[in-house]
Structure 1
Amino acid sequence: MNLRVEREELEHKMLFDFATFADSNLGRKNPEEKCPLRTDFQRDRDRIIHSKSFRRLKHKTQVFISPEGDHFRTRLTHTLEVSQIARTIARALRLNEDLVEAISLGHDLGHTPFGHSGEAVLDELKEGGFSHSKQSLKVVDFLEISDKRVGLNLTEEVRDGIVNHSGDNNASTLEGKIIKFADRIAYINHDIDDAIRAGIISEDDLPKHLIKVLGDTSSKRINTMINAIINKSYGNPIVEMQDEVYQATMELRQYMFKRVYLDDVVKSEEVKIKRLLTELYKFYEEDLDRIPNNHLNIYENHEDKGEIVTDYIAGMTDTFAMKQIKNIFIPKGWSI
């Protein structure tokens, strides 16, 4: 019995014709023998979950740097929330849930320590700039290594969804387009929750006209946004949100930028982060031998110091970056 073939046949019965089917995917850069149990997209999902890059997300900042409390989101919990929302949408629209799950779990693997503050620092320091979505693709293509392979050798559809999940980029599959919506739905709503917990805003501060459209609780807002996508897109080869809800969602996003993401409390540590990461960058750039061999050995040559140092720092967790800064720049006490 070949359970993969059975699953692939089931997809053709359950999904709409314009869905992305596992048995007709665009393949991998390096062809591999098929798994008898899992489809290619399920296999990609498993490779991402078992990667070191995925595990490190638990110690990377989402919005609040070094928050005092166990209930603030991390990059890992954000990723899981995106996955849950994206799977709900894909299932309802009869699109490929396995593909959606793989993309969502891998979409933020390239994020830096200290959230978008860290990303902004590396964007200034690296020649040509830095983008976490491009870095996420680089992680799965090149930086994540194991005894079996360099990179995860994912399917083209998953790679496309990862690199095109944010900004003005657009994924080539409908499943990839879901991720951009799911990412926004997740971070807008969970960042509101965290901001209220941090005392930066209160429920009463949220714009009343937006709450009237979207809902007065996080769960209601998420439900409204998801249903607006399903109602607009079901049965059609599109992934779009109903206009009224979309406008309210984007306006709420702008509110969050103004009141939370650029708030003095949230940004209060940014100057320190910039100084520390800049010094750390210079330290490694001065002498690449200060970087562990297991990272240096990934590269065929060491000519592009900026690329090597950027990749190394971007892969750090908040805790590891702080440990390195402490070990390198803070004098150790003497015991007599």
Structure 2
Amino acid sequence: MSDPEITARARAWAETMAGHDHDGVVRAHSDSSLTMRPAPLVTRELREERERLLLRPGATVAEGAGHRARQEAPDPERTCFERDRDRIVHSAAFRRLAGKTQVVVHPTDHQRTRLTHAIEVAQVATSIARSAGVNVTLADAIALGHDCGHGPGGHASEDAFDAFIPEGYDHGPWGANVVLSGLNLCAETLDGIRNHSWSRPAPSTIEGEIVSWADRIAYCAHDLEDAIHAGIVTLDDVPKQVAEVAGRTRREQLGTFIRAVADTIDRYGTVGMEPAEAAALAELRNFNYERIYVRPASREQSRAVIEVLHALVEFYAAHPEAMPEPPDDDAGTETAVRAAVTYVAGMTDRYAFSSAVSELGWDPDRLPQGIDHGE
């Protein structure tokens, strides 16, 4: 480390490679002094016992759960739902959410992606689950994985892929049944992911129903905030009914709606909201729908997304050898088409659009465009 070009900062960092020995224990900091009384580790069995004692009746306990398609031995440290959460967070499908549209293609640094949306849904869901005394870890796992079935370009991707999937493309079931199937998640986690959308059958767990509400609460509040920052709408545009009940800002709205669900669980023993708060959330969603999701620029963006994704699926179905993992079937077969949808749906926005240009000779002017402030 005598090279004069190496800075003092780099030298100091390099000197921490081996840590610092303190009486036979290597610690991270040279001046570490904090100690605890030695005690047994908090093992999976102990955490499962605590769940039985502390969770509200009707909550989903980890003990006796862990129903997986492929049987696995229990983990010595983690409950089955803690294991699921870890698998989702470390999966490629979860990481790719960072490159997928939440509302607008090509988001700016401050606008949400599918990844930041998933994290915010998890925050809302765990807040409700913690207040309600149910399984926070299961709610967290479902929330983090709930949108892994989304394709590039936002909800328009579902319309694009519908043309190729006989039963229709729905990001909830697709995420649970296709994208995350290799993780061998618990049935309870997959059920919550599969059925988080309100148009689906109700989830089989309280925690899954909490995520259904958390998803709507989170995207209604943060999609509005993103639209305000982009100049699409203003704070003054927020409907009076929403402002009076839940406020105009994301912070006020999240606080109101989180408390509304938690209070309803406490009062009635079911997951929902009382009419005033539910009506305000519905009005907020309706406002976002009219002013953000289906405004002319959004419709044009959706049209461009559908066109390019259609073309990509058709190309890869006709040329399965161009996919990294070609299916064991001929071009144009149902197997090849499903493989093409799976491949394209897994792409980030940038990779999908650049693939269209490189593989199809797609005119960049026909690609979905980002938004201009104040459009």
Shift of 1:123: 1.5
Question: Are the equivalent residues in 1 in contact too, given 2:94–2:148 (CA < 8 A)?
Answer: yes
Distance 1:95 1:281 in 2: 42
Answering whether residue 76 of structure 2 is matched by residue 18 of structure 1, we say no
Question: Are the equivalent residues in 2 in contact too, given 1:160–1:172 (CA < 8 A)?
Answer: yes
Question: Are the equivalent residues in 2 in contact too, given 1:8–1:21 (CA < 8 A)?
Answer: yes
Aligned residues: 320
Q: What SS is found at the alignment partner of 1:126? A: coil
Distance 1:74 1:47 in 2: 20
Candidates 295, 299, 317, aligned match of 1:267: 299
Shift of 1:268: 2.7
Distance 1:182 1:57 in 2: 18
Distance 1:177 1:274 in 2: 31
Question: Are the equivalent residues in 2 in contact too, given 1:85–1:186 (CA < 8 A)?
Answer: yes
Answering whether residue 207 of structure 2 is matched by residue 175 of structure 1, we say yes
Distance 2:345 2:179 in 1: 14
Distance 1:258 1:53 in 2: 31
Distance 1:228 1:237 in 2: 13
Answering whether residue 157 of structure 2 is matched by residue 118 of structure 1, we say yes
Answering whether residue 314 of structure 2 is matched by residue 282 of structure 1, we say yes
Question: Are the equivalent residues in 1 in contact too, given 2:175–2:194 (CA < 8 A)?
Answer: yes
Equivalence for 2:16: none
Q: Give the AA of the match of 1:325.
A: A
Answering whether residue 101 of structure 2 is matched by residue 61 of structure 1, we say yes
Q: Residue 236 and residue 38 in structure 1: after superposition, are their counterparts in 2 closer, same or farther (change >3 A)?
A: farther
Shift of 1:116: 0.6
Which consecutive unaligned segments of at least 5 residues does structure 2 have? 1-39, 364-375
Candidates 172, 183, 189, aligned match of 1:133: 172
Distance 2:294 2:222 in 1: 16
Q: Give the AA of the match of 1:215.
A: G
Candidates 313, 322, 328, aligned match of 2:359: 328
Candidates 180, 187, 196, aligned match of 1:165: 196
Candidates 40, 44, 53, aligned match of 1:4: 44
Candidates 109, 112, 125, aligned match of 1:70: 109
**More off after superposition, 133-142 vs 308-317:** 133-142
Distance 1:331 1:245 in 2: 47
Question: Are the equivalent residues in 2 in contact too, given 1:16–1:235 (CA < 8 A)?
Answer: no
CA displacement 1:88-138 (0-9 Å, x = unmatched): 000000000010011011111110000111221112343332110111112
**More off after superposition, 75-84 vs 22-31:** 22-31
Distance 2:47 2:322 in 1: 48
Which consecutive unaligned segments of at least 5 residues does structure 1 have? 143-150
Q: Give the AA of the match of 1:93.
A: A
Distance 1:135 1:60 in 2: 16
Question: Are the equivalent residues in 2 in contact too, given 1:215–1:221 (CA < 8 A)?
Answer: yes
Question: Are the equivalent residues in 1 in contact too, given 2:356–2:362 (CA < 8 A)?
Answer: no
Greater helix share, structure number? 1
Question: Are the equivalent residues in 2 in contact too, given 1:127–1:306 (CA < 8 A)?
Answer: no
Query: 1:150-229, aligned counterparts within 5 Å?
Result: 151-168=182-199, 169-229=201-261
Q: Residue 267 and residue 66 in structure 1: after superposition, are their counterparts in 2 closer, same or farther (change >3 A)?
A: farther
Distance 2:46 2:196 in 1: 30
Distance 1:135 1:186 in 2: 22
Question: Are the equivalent residues in 1 in contact too, given 2:242–2:248 (CA < 8 A)?
Answer: no
Shift of 1:187: 0.3
Shift of 1:267: 2.7
CA displacement 1:274-324 (0-9 Å, x = unmatched): 22112111111212112122x63799xx75222111111111110110121
**Percent of residue pairs identical:** 40
Equivalence for 1:94: 133
Distance 1:19 1:140 in 2: 27
Distance 2:329 2:87 in 1: 19
CA displacement 1:131-161 (0-9 Å, x = unmatched): 101111123553xxxxxxxx11111110110
Question: Are the equivalent residues in 1 in contact too, given 2:329–2:336 (CA < 8 A)?
Answer: no
Max radius of gyration: which structure? 2
CA displacement 1:168-198 (0-9 Å, x = unmatched): 3210100000001000000000000111111
Structural RMSD (CA):
2.0
